[in-house]
Structure 1
Amino acid sequence: MRESIAMCVVTVVMSLFLTGIAGAAEENRRQAGGRETLVGHIARRADQPAQRLESRGGEKTAWKRRVVTPSELEQISEKDPDLYPVAALEILARINTRARYHIAEDVQKGRPILVPDDFTHYKDWSPVPEVLPSAFRIPKLILIVKDIPFIGWYEHGKLVGDSLICIGKRDSWTRAGTYRVLNKDKDHVSRSYTNAYGQPAPMPWALRIYGHVWIHAGDIEKGYCSHGCINLPWFPAIELFQWADTGTVVHIMESTGQGSDGIPGMASNRRLSGSP
């Protein structure tokens, strides 16, 4: 846990979508001693101080950019059976925002990547909060954080799944804001872009949130590699697709840092600090 967690301000514009929860928002505001909750932000379109939230990650640890070898990963596995090679690669994938198969290639070819000083601290690590107290009255919420980038999905404010993601190469290509899942399409294909063979690019397990922007399974070469869609690895994309409903709330926020319109409770500037 970081020693200090920035208090940030959530700015969301969503009254059109959640008019039915305005009463609950007012009740939440009173119960919070006058502080506006996330539900209140959404229903009232207000800019109020948000609650301090907890994030996962255990003890404060760090990582360094260096080469990690296959033999080193094997030694880690021998010391801790939970950290079998695939599990260690998954930790590296989450820290580097890069698909596990790309990380495996990086390891084999001796490319420098971010490597934790102690893998044991990252077994259950996530840069998004495990609990969002101010979202307890929202049945389902998908949270996307652009500066990490990472996605988490919540039931009544409790994290039920998360994943590294790839978002737009340019900042404006994935717009911050609050939306709903408009459509679900397990076998969606792009009408705008083609694959390497000149065919419409597949976008499987897709959830449309606005315009031509979908959350879907795709390659995660790095954190910013899409035309605006939010790409997940294959299995998390399936999990999210099966979990989400048409109408599920989706909130895309710019940053977790100080002075941003982020939700507190997440480690700010994790890439610079090297800490969860």
Structure 2
Amino acid sequence: MIDISEQRAYFYKGGRLAGISPVATGIAGYRTPTGSFRVSEKDIDHRSNLFGHYVDRAGYVRKSSVDVRKDKRPAGTVFRGASMDFFMRVNGAVGMHAGKVTGRPESHGCIRLPWHMAKIFYENSPIGTKVTVRQ
């Protein structure tokens, strides 16, 4: 269960609380959807196809924190999607994954977990696992 107001994830196994983690959910304009969902896909080394950086052929970032739907790609660059290790899709483009967590909303709608917690959740959540997100 994800509690947006607390910025916490509660992991239950066999009906018992097995772990708690801080999370970072969506900012204004990119709110994390609430409701009851199920893990529909898992990808251990997923990359975003919407958010990331424009990099040159040598791999140097030329424009950071881009949204490919809004930010024009500079000539001579390619898009490199943001790393989303231990990705578990829960609703459309929204998933749970490893990322920066500071205790406040700061994502583009996804549910970010600290890397070590994302790994634990990933390893213990098969496809079909119920994920409840509440305000």
Matched, 1:176 2:37: no
**After superposition, what is the alpha-carbon deviation per residue over 1:91-129, rounded to whole angstroms, capped at 9, x for unaligned?**
xxxxxxxxxxxxxxxxxxxxxxxxxxxxxxxxxxxxxxx
Matched, 1:206 2:87: yes
The percent identity for this pair of structures is 32
- Structure 1 171/160 Cα, relative in aligned 2: closer, same or farther at 3 Å? farther
- Structure 1 248/236 Cα, relative in aligned 2: closer, same or farther at 3 Å? same
2:101 counterpart letter in structure 1: I
Alignment partners' CA distance in 2, 1:157 and 1:224: 28
Matched, 1:250 2:106: no
Aligned to 1:228: 109
Aligned to 2:121: 240
Matched, 1:148 2:6: yes
- Structure 1 172/192 Cα, relative in aligned 2: closer, same or farther at 3 Å? closer
Q: Report the alpha carbon displacement of residue 172 of structure 1 after superposing the two structures with TM.
A: 5.9
Aligned-residue CA RMSD in angstroms? 1.5
Q: Report the alpha carbon displacement of residue 183 of structure 1 after superposing the two structures with TM.
A: 0.3
Secondary structure at the aligned position of 2:106 is classed as strand
Q: Report the alpha carbon displacement of residue 187 of structure 1 after superposing the two structures with TM.
A: 0.6
Could you state the TM-score of these two structures normalised by the residue count of structure 1? 0.39
Aligned 1:97-112 pairs, distance under 5 A: none
1:152 counterpart letter in structure 2: Y
Specify which structure has the higher proportion of strand.
Answer: 2
Residues 30, 108 of structure 2: 8 Å contact kept? no
Query: Which has the larger Rg?
Result: 1
Matched, 1:185 2:43: yes
Structure 2's unaligned 5+ residue stretches are 55-60, 65-79
- Structure 1 146/171 Cα, relative in aligned 2: closer, same or farther at 3 Å? farther
Residues 22, 103 of structure 2: 8 Å contact kept? no
Secondary structure at the aligned position of 1:252 is classed as strand
Alignment partners' CA distance in 1, 2:25 and 2:32: 6
Aligned 1:50-199 pairs, distance under 5 A: 143-170=1-28, 173-195=31-53, 197=61, 198=64, 199=80
Could you state the TM-score of these two structures normalised by the residue count of structure 2? 0.78
Alignment partners' CA distance in 1, 2:43 and 2:30: 25
Alignment partners' CA distance in 1, 2:113 and 2:53: 17
Q: Report the alpha carbon displacement of residue 171 of structure 1 after superposing the two structures with TM.
A: 7.2
- Structure 1 253/201 Cα, relative in aligned 2: closer, same or farther at 3 Å? same
Alignment partners' CA distance in 2, 1:191 and 1:171: 18
Residues 30, 107 of structure 2: 8 Å contact kept? no
Secondary structure at the aligned position of 2:86 is classed as strand
Aligned to 1:28: none
Alignment partners' CA distance in 2, 1:195 and 1:171: 20
Comparing 175-184 and 189-198, the one that deviates more: 189-198
Structure 1's unaligned 5+ residue stretches are 1-142, 255-276
